[in-house]
Amino acid sequence: MWQFFHKLGSPKWFYGIANRFMPWLFWLGLALLLGGLVWGLAFAPKDYLQGNSYRIIFIHVPSAFLAQSVYVMMAVAGVVTLVWRMKLADLFVKAAAPVGAVLTFLALFTGAVWGKPTWGTWWIWDARLTSMLILLFLYLGVVFLGSAISDEKSSARAVAVLVLVGVVNIPIIKYSVEWWNTLHQPATFKLTEKPSMPAEMWVPLLLSVLGLYLLFGWLACLRMQTEILIRERRTRWVKDFVSTGGH
């Protein structure tokens, strides 16, 4: 166990292990995502209330779901950074933040375009939409704070603190549709209940959520590798790795 923990802290070990997992994450994720999207776009039945505009759900829910769970992962990594000073945890936060920002933007954008034919408006300042916008600003804050502080250690700590302060926003997003009156519909998936949609709708949705999860894993590995190469550039193994072609 301790040996594993020690290894996990080693950027060199992580680089190799990531290389081994990345093709799997990429191809499996791509297949699941594309399968889910094609199924949802062309084969899932039309919604009796919203018509075909509901097909946006197959990209809106995965983006929003990932946007929130990436933030939770970053918060866990933030705790690890502060308590154990593990370099890899900080690398993860820095690698994941821009991806999270893009996912949050996509959730907001697809939500706005979905809102127009369904609610009659692109945007309202209600609890769910506003708290998602705050999530976007939190992600951008993490990206800019991380790049503004050049000292590695203080940058890691400052970013971790910011991520942890922002984590209160996550339960607000999650419960906003229950606590406040909002235009937004309640959650599609709940752990405790059967989905309220037929299987031909929720199975493709589940596929695209899983696919996007795996693709996020691939992106995170790739971006962490880049960060590792930059930070460890003076070490023997990076020099050897780079001079033998970098593959």
Partner 1 sequence: MAFDSLQAFWLMDGHGPYVWTCYGVFLAGLVGLALWSRHRRKVVIREQQRQLARDRQDQGESTPAAAATFSRIHPS
Nearer to partner 1, 46 or 85 (CB): 46
Q: Is 233 in the site for partner 1 (CB under 8 A)?
A: yes
- Does 68 contact partner 1 by CB under 8 A? no
Interactions with partner 1, residue window 94-113 (CB under 8 A): 98-99, 102, 105-106, 109-110, 113
Cα–Cα dist 244/180, whole Å: 58
Q: Is residue 61 close enough to count as binding partner 1 by CB under 8 A?
A: no
Q: Which of 69, 59, 60 is nearest to 174 (CA)?
A: 69
- Write the binding mask 131 to 170 for partner 1: x where contact by CB under 8 A, - elsewhere: ----------------------------------------
* 88 near partner 1 (CB under 8 A): no
Bridge partner list, 47: 51
Binding site for partner 1 (CB under 8 A): 37, 41-46, 51-53, 55-56, 59-60, 63, 98-99, 102, 105-106, 109-110, 113-114, 116-117, 215, 219, 222-223, 225-226, 229-230, 233, 238-239, 242-243, 246
